[in-house]
Amino acid sequence: MGGQGDEREVRRLRDVYESYKAEQVRRRWSADNPGNRAIVDERRVMARSLLKKHGFVPLASRKVLDIGCGCGGKLARLVEWGARPENLYGVDLLADRIDTAQRTYPKIHFRCGNAESLDWDDDTFDLVLLFTVFSSILSGVMADNVAREIRRVLKPGGGVLWYDIRFDNPRNPHVRGITKRQLRSWFPGFQMDLRSVTLLPLLARRLGKLTPVAYPLLSRLTCLRTHYLGLLIKPKAWDTADG
């Protein structure tokens, strides 16, 4: 399944993720920081609202795939929205992440692999999660391959729950902002319900005790929102030859 993979980009991504661990980048996203908690809470509320609006929750018997699933936390939380663990699947490039995910959530299915070639049949999943995946892929070839595979394994009428940065990050050369035009090129013909979210993290993390009041106020300013959150819905009449 899938086409020719971009092995150079795969190696680059693995090196970047390993450097993140060495530099303890994850500390920036510590749940101990009120701003980080506000970012996650806002995203969770708005994501559920989107899924409910388009009839995806409760998730019940729906099959869900999380690409770039990390250690499995986002996928596991879908149980709160009615998902059944046996219907949840995650894939990630890094074997240590998958090992951690499988130990932590043994009822969920995890695989180590490259999303350029997904090991599932056509029209398998009702929902695919894409959280800060495409912004990390700098190779156009790899991005096109991953998008094609997502279109293939997603059922007609199924959805992609998208969350990613919309601007380049001058502090991180390993990522790029994703525009609406790029999204439309990767998911042609999909219905898109997209909105800007997430207060500039560098600012949000500095709010401290003022977070409960300041975060909602500041996040009203579109220019301070750094990400897109959206639901991309595959047409129910889909020509499989288009991938």
CATH number for the domain that contains residue 85: 3.40.50.150
What's the total number of domains in the chain?
1
Render pLDDT for 127-139 as a digit per residue (tens, 0 to 9): 999 999 999 999 9
Q: Which domain holds residue 120?
A: 7-242
What is this structure's pTM? 0.91
- d(Cα 200, Cα 221) in Å, to the nearest integer? 10
Indicate whether 194 belongs to any domain: yes
Asked if residue 183 lies in contact with residue 151, where contact means CB atoms within 8 angstroms, the answer is no
Q: One-letter amino acid identity for 36?
A: N
Q: Is residue 218 very low, low, confident or very high in pLDDT (cuts 50, 70, 90)?
A: very high
Give me the pLDDT at residue 216, please.
97
Give me the pLDDT at residue 193, please.
98
Indicate whether 12 belongs to any domain: yes
Give me the pLDDT at residue 27, please.
66
Indicate whether 165 belongs to any domain: yes
Indicate whether 189 belongs to any domain: yes
Give me the pLDDT at residue 173, please.
86
Site of tokens 């750094």: 226
Indicate whether 2 belongs to any domain: no
Helix (H, G, I), strand (E, B) or coil at 10: helix
Indicate whether 120 belongs to any domain: yes
Render pLDDT for 9-59 as a digit per residue (tens, 0 to 9): 888 888 777 766 655 556 677 888 999 999 999 999 999 999 999 999 999
Indicate whether 182 belongs to any domain: yes
Indicate whether 1 belongs to any domain: no
